[in-house]
Structure 1
Amino acid sequence: MAYDPIFYLPLTESTFYILLSLAPGRKHGYAIMKDVKDLSRRRVNLSTSTLYTAVGRLLDQGLIERLHDGGQESGPGLTRKSYELTDLGRRVLEAEHVRLQGMVKEARLRLREGGA
């Protein structure tokens, strides 16, 4: 696992919004799906399989961690799982934020030069 946040960039739009959804704190899968849809103004609408494929990859990369919420059940015999950012995940999200800000700044300058 790489510890330099730059190694993970650029993030896909879905990954960016999943990490952003977890920035304020832990969430379970359905809450992440709903939050991503809201944060992206409905541009990113994750299916369950897409979310959990991404979650599996983010877990493997060490960007998020799984928490078992004791007592909350999502179905018969199933315990609801929540996810939260790791320190590395937060640093990756912050690095992507800086990268995107730089892109927007350059676009503004170029568009201004072109008379837009």
Structure 2
Amino acid sequence: MNNSDLIFIAFSMITLINVARAVSSLRCLLYRMRDIDPLLYQRVNGRVFFKTEGNYSKQMQLFHYIHRNEHLRHFDEYFIYRCSKVKKIFTLASSLVICNIILIPILMYLDL
């Protein structure tokens, strides 16, 4: 194994760990949402959010809810904290995935 393989493997493992953190944080948010705001939980189809029968457009409603910072007007501070945390972790995970995709051809070209 050369250095570029080790760099790629390490960066990929960091990316996978952060994606797992993002999914776990989203699950925790949905769990808390069920108790705090049942109407929003039903609107985003929280019961089947991670299953194959989940509605993609309803899942995107949660994404837009967090992306537009609509959670900042919510009455529960813990819910606001969870939404902010999900937003930060998803931003980090998506940027790591993009960097990982960009890193593959660069490491193949340089062949360190």
Q: With structure 1 as the length reference, what TM-score do the two structures score? A: 0.36
Q: Which has the higher strand share?
A: 1
- The higher relative CO (CA closer than 8 Å, separation ≥ 6) is in 2
TM-score, normalised on structure 2? 0.37
**Structure that is richer in helix per residue:** 2
